[in-house]
Structure formats: C-alpha cells, structure tokens
Amino acid sequence: MENSRVVVVDQLMDNYAYLVIDERSGVAGVVDVAEADRVLHAAEREGVRIVAILSTHCHFDHVGGNDELLAALPPGSVQVFGHRADAERIPGITRPLEDGEDFALGAMHGRAIFIPAHTRGHLAYYFAEAGAVFTGDTLFAGGCGRIFEGDAAQMMSSLGRLAGLPDPTLVYCGHEYTRRNLEFAAMLEPSNPALAQRRREVDMLLEQGGRTVPTTVALEKATNPFLRTQSPELRASVREQIPDVGDDAVSVLAATRLLKDNF
Ligand code: ZN
Ligand code: FE
C-alpha cells in the first residue's frame, strides 16, 4: 500500500464513500458518491485532485452525488466508471466497463470485476498492487447485499469471485451494517470461534466511534455466513428454520438470504 492510500468518507446514515489516492501523482478516484460536499472536503483535506468516480452500482445512496460532484470540478476532468448494464442509471457515466476491464487511476491500475445480483450491473473495483477491493452492496463485512436484480446462483458466483481474491486483500464495502450482520451470523454459527472473536472486536470498535472497514477476504471467509454455505453448523441452523432447503450451496445461500431478509 506504500504508493496508495484509502480514505473513508462517511455518507448519509451508514454509507461509505472512499477516496482511492495515488500518492505518486496526488490524484484520487472516489468510490460511490452520495454527498458530494463531504467528498470534496475530504479531497481538500487530503490535498488530492479527484479525477474519477468509480460507481459500484446505480442505487441512489451510491450515485446520488455524482452530478453535484461533477458540477463542482473542472468540466471534463473527471471520468465516471460503472458497468455497461447499469450505464443508463449511473449519472454522468463516461466509461462503461465490462468484466475484467483494466483502467488507470494516476499510476495505479484498477480492474473491474462484474458481480451482479444486487443489481444487474454491479461492479467491484480491484486494485491488485494496493491489495484492496471495493465491493459496494454485494459483499458486506459479515454479510451480503439483498438480491434485487438477480438470483441466488448469481450472488453465489459474484461472492465467489470476491472470495477468490488473495486472503490479505482489504475489503471496503458500501455500508456500516457489520454489527447487525454478525448478530445474524452468530445465530447460524454460535460455535464459530472466529465469529465470536470478531463480534467482540467489532463491538469495541463501534463503541469507540470507529468503523469496521476495511475487513479482509480471509476474515470474511472465516465469519461471513454467505461465504460459509459449506459449514455444517450453518447448514443445520438454516435447515431448522427452513426444513425443505436443498443440499446444494446455492439453495443454502438462497435460504440464508431469505432468513436475513426477515431478521
Ligand atoms: Zn444498493
Ligand atoms: Fe446501498
């Protein structure tokens, strides 16, 4: 991470925007803008110039500030990334991306990872050199997003692609939902020691006014129920509440998501 740094910017009630800063050039991309003024203040405070908006998906709490941010910056100086399938719903988009497309941010290289299911055009932004991924409303710390425009099989494969990144990869997600997510996780896996420890750490962090981002791929694999459809304890808990759940991972994920929707 020596050539780059990530600055978290609080947005709305529990959203996060992120400045991804290339230290070598002093430029930054901002992942998901709901409130332009707070993002602009953060950029000013950090002494960086915003040259890109990296929209993960089209929901208002992630792109609602695009137009205002663009209006506040020199015309033509900011690229706006998003997935092609969400393009008509991402304000100001200049660069519709496909899965696997590379892009430059200053001297940094980013890659778009297509992870549909929350919306049909959801993207993650992965910076291999920095070891960081921005997952929007697909992979949360301790949970996953609701399936609005896809199905459980799609969510499974989208989550699988993120879980397949290197273990130490830092995961920056779109919302501070972690405490409630882990409460749900603990209901399904009460004997998971990594989960119990994480809950204690998260409670302490939040009590001190901290944030629970970033997390890591390794920690998510150890504690996030949506990445743990193979766990016998999780399966037994799910089956207790939804007796006719199928044996395959997608059915377990679908049932887990349903339980979370009603939690
Ligand atoms: Zn969303
Ligand atoms: Fe959201």
Taking only the tens place, the pLDDT of each residue in 205-226 is: 999 999 999 999 999 999 999 9
Q: How far is the CA of 38 from the centre of ligand 1 (A)?
A: 20
175 is catalytic: yes
Q: Identify the nearest ligand to the CA of 149 by its number.
A: 1
pLDDT of residue 67: 98
Number of domains in the chain: 1
> Which CATH number does the domain housing residue 229 bear?
3.60.15.10
Task: Write out residues in the chain with pLDDT < 50, as ranges.
Answer: none
Domain holding 83, by residue range, is 4-261
**Angle of the 152-163 helix axis to the 249-261 helix axis, nearest 10:** 100
Q: Measure the CA–CA gap between 242 and 87, rounded to whole angstroms.
A: 38
Supply the DSSP string of 10-53, one letter for each residue. EETTTEEEEEEEETTTTEEEEE--S-HHHHHHHHHHHT-EEEEE
Active-site position among 32, 62, 83, 122: 62
118 is catalytic: yes
Q: How far is the CA of 146 from the centre of ligand 1 (A)?
A: 8
Active-site position among 22, 32, 86, 137: 137
pLDDT of residue 1: 57
122 is catalytic: no
Q: How many Å separate Cα 212 from the centre of its chain?
A: 12
pTM of the model: 0.98
